[in-house]
Chain A
Amino acid sequence: MARILGGITTSHIPSVGSAIANELFDDPYWKPFFDGYPKIHAWLDEHKPDLVINIYNDHGLGFFLDQMPTFAIGAAHECRNEDEGWGLPALDPFPGAPEVSWHIIESIVADEFDITSCQELAVDHGFVVPMQLFWPGAPANPDMPRAIPISANTVQHPIPTLKRALAFGRALRKALLSYPEDLKVVVLGTGGLSHQLDGERAGFINKEFDLYCLEHIVHDPDKLTEISRMELVEKAGAQGTEFLMWMMMRGALGGDVTEITRNYHIPISNTASGTLLLECAA
């Protein structure tokens, strides 16, 4: 049977990719951010998951406004990274796990989440930056698990509610636990925390709200479902709505989790960065 080892969240700021390429790990600006990852590396090294579910939000590479799925599940043999407009070199493809993708799709649609399945889906920084952070050298890292992308819409309102995001994660958990083969799974929730790129309020960061979310997502995620979507925009910033991905991840972990490590740092680029590793009860 498949087993969920734990969940990891991280911000997925595009400039992290170039900071990694330039090895700025000890640079004074970057060090407080990169210091959040060694404990995660040690945990992944110890547990060596076979499969990573990468829950992220597409930023206008895989999807355009012509057809915008609220929840999309990748079912490709490989996840291709492409130029998203800035001319950065694309990473090599990440091996997929389409047979597991289809199991999840079957289970989650039976649970009445009417998702969009994608046999081709180009993945952007929201997907690849966390992979690079967790598995240095990704996808070439020898411990790189096979990957399934799940994207939620935060580009265009109406976005899903926090309650729905948490429920999606719980349905994902049910799907994974019913997979008949032995698989060790880790679930990522990427994006956030508070930030806003657009408008006269660009540069908005809200430490108090971020810390509230970090505190409650560990042991009382249902409390966070009381936050409305417009309240989330107001308090987390227009792009801080990416916290939805953290809620989806959290739903997949079940009730009993242990916090292994967390990091919170302001700023990286325009963003309050956050990282959290939660281990599931065995």
Chain B
Amino acid sequence: MNEPALKELLYKIADDQLILGHRNSEWTGFGPLLEEDIAFSSMAQDKVGQSHALYQMLETLGEKDPDTVAFMRNADQFHNCIMVELPNGEYDFSLIRHFLYDTAEAIRFEMLSESSYQPLADISKKIRAELRYHTLHANTWVKQLGSATEESISRLQRSLEQVMPYALGMFEESPYEKELIGDKIFGGEQALKERWMKKVEAIIAQTQLQLPDWKTIQPVMGGRAGKHSEYLQPLLDEMSEVFKIDPTAEW
């Protein structure tokens, strides 16, 4: 078992879940309708909870405790892709990001449920089942709004074009890609990306939205290596504000 490779993998997945979970939680009280308010809040709780479980796994591998890992790192120590840290924007932006992200995550955890690292395989089977509700939610709304009115279609189309370069950044390769694949810990970003593209194409084909030509999209990378946009540090400051008042407090 290549431990540095495994840790790098766990960090990036957990960080993605934590940061998008936090962004989702920002919809609490602001959803365009109550049902969506509840949906994004629930997905936030799922994702933050899943990140916590993955940080706990990292703790068993010798990393610091989950609270310290979540709240005490600076932006350059986070391995999430840039897409998840972008501000929520309007609902169409958040929906498209949710769709592109959760489609990938559902496949990622499906692949990881075959991982040679048994604790990761166990939890991935579980998370995969939970994510079914997230992809169901995203697909339902993308299909509905992607074929509804001129305004809903044009809004989703614009967001789709805007998010896509960042979405491809999800698949930025790890320095340990060969080791992960060789040790059968994870099937690799390239395999994930190919399956994701097919799935995205299948859903978008059921709408009046147009996918940009994959070849013309320039992926926005860097997040996995700790190179982030200007939006991550303010998010972390806000997220950790209460914790940092007294890091030793018992809750």
The answer to whether A and B interact is no
Instruction: Enumerate chain A interface residues (CB-CB to B < 8 A).
Output: none
